[in-house]
Each structure stands twice: as structure tokens, then as C-alpha cells.
Amino acid sequence: MAEEGRKVVIGMDGSKNSSFAFDWYLKNIHRPKDHVILVHSPEYHSLGQSSFAIANLGHVAEQVEEEQKKAQEFNDNLVSKLKEAGIGGEVKTVGGFPGEALVKTAENEEASLIVTGTRGLGTIRRTLLGSVSDFVMRHSHIPVTVCREKPE
């Protein structure tokens, strides 16, 4: 009987922590037949930061276009990352809160595992901002691996 590959969802946000999680996956648990789904949930930082933008719809449109361009460039880099590592897979951009995006994508794709990094937020910041890794661990119905880089 031929071995079937797993579907593995990995959260990618451009941070050092998500790159660490991807590298950890590669070095420690990657199987040749795995299908990796890199999930990017872009946060549009420049939108809504200016009260001027509310009065100027043209400015808002420019900001949206710029954010979309950045997201596309990031996705292209992720596709290259998969190719360079020799991994079969794809990149998905999913809107919304990153934790929800990871869990929903894993469910939709019938994934076997979710891998995510951690931002290492302190207790207060985690309480106010919410922790993606905490959310994923609480809401996922499949195994979750949270990768934390050792402090320097």
C-alpha cells in the first residue's frame, strides 16, 4: 500500500518566528509526500491610520492597492520558499484574524497538522491583542505544533 502524504498548514506572517516555524517543520517533521499549505492572513496596517483617509476615498483606494501589492509580493516569496525547499504545496491568502484563518483553512483542506510560530507576547499584550497560537490550540480539532525559538 502506497504511503499517502499529509496536508500540513503552516502560518506565515513574514516574521522571524514564522520563518523559524517553517524551518523547524522542514528539519524535524517534514515527510517527502507532505502537501504544505502556507497560510498568510495579511493585516492592512496603513488602512484607517489616517483621519484624512476617511475624507479622501482616492487616498483609501491607493492604500488598498499598495497593501494588496505588498501581500502579492509576500505570497510570491512564499511560493519561492516552497520551491527552494523542494516541497509540494501552495500558498493561500485568507482574510480575517490569523488564528481563525489557520483553523478554517486546516478544516477546509482536511489537514493533518497545523504548525505555527509564536510572537512571544507578554501576558498583558497577549490578553489585549490575543495570541494566534493560543487561539489555534483552543479551536483546532487536529494536532497543533507551536514552535518557539530559544531566546538568544
Judge whether 61 lies within some domain: yes
Cα separation of 72 and 77, whole Å? Answer: 9
Judge whether 152 lies within some domain: no
What pLDDT is stored for residue 128 in this prediction?
46
Residues 6+ away with beta carbon under 8 Å from 75: 40, 91, 93
**Confidence category of residue 40, pLDDT binned at 50, 70, 90:** very high
Q: What is the pLDDT of residues 80-113, one digit of tens each?
A: 999 999 999 999 999 888 999 999 999 999 999 9
What pLDDT is stored for residue 126 in this prediction?
47
Judge whether 4 lies within some domain: no
Judge whether 1 lies within some domain: no
Judged against a pLDDT cut of 50, whether residue 2 lies above it is answered with no
**Confidence category of residue 123, pLDDT binned at 50, 70, 90:** low
Judged against a pLDDT cut of 70, whether residue 147 lies above it is answered with yes
Between 116 and 121, the higher pLDDT residue: 116
Percent above pLDDT 90 for the chain:
55
Task: Provide the residue range defining the domain that includes 52.
Answer: 9-147
pTM: 0.82
Pairing of strands 35-40, 113-117: unpaired
Q: Please, which residues bridge with residue 93 across strands? A: 40
Q: Which residue has the cell 499549505?
A: 37
Taking residues 134-145, what's their average pLDDT? Answer: 94
Judged against a pLDDT cut of 50, whether residue 64 lies above it is answered with yes
CATH of the domain at 115: 3.40.50.620
Q: How many domains does the chain have?
A: 1
Judge whether 3 lies within some domain: no
Judge whether 56 lies within some domain: yes
**What number of residues does the chain have?**
152
What pLDDT is stored for residue 5 in this prediction?
86
DSSP SS3 for 93? strand
Burial degree of 107 (CB within 10 A; 0-12, 13-18, 19+): middle
- Closest by CA to 105, choosing from 44, 35, 47, is 35
CA distances for 50 relative to 28, 45, 47, angstroms: 44, 11, 7
Cα separation of 75 and 39, whole Å? Answer: 9
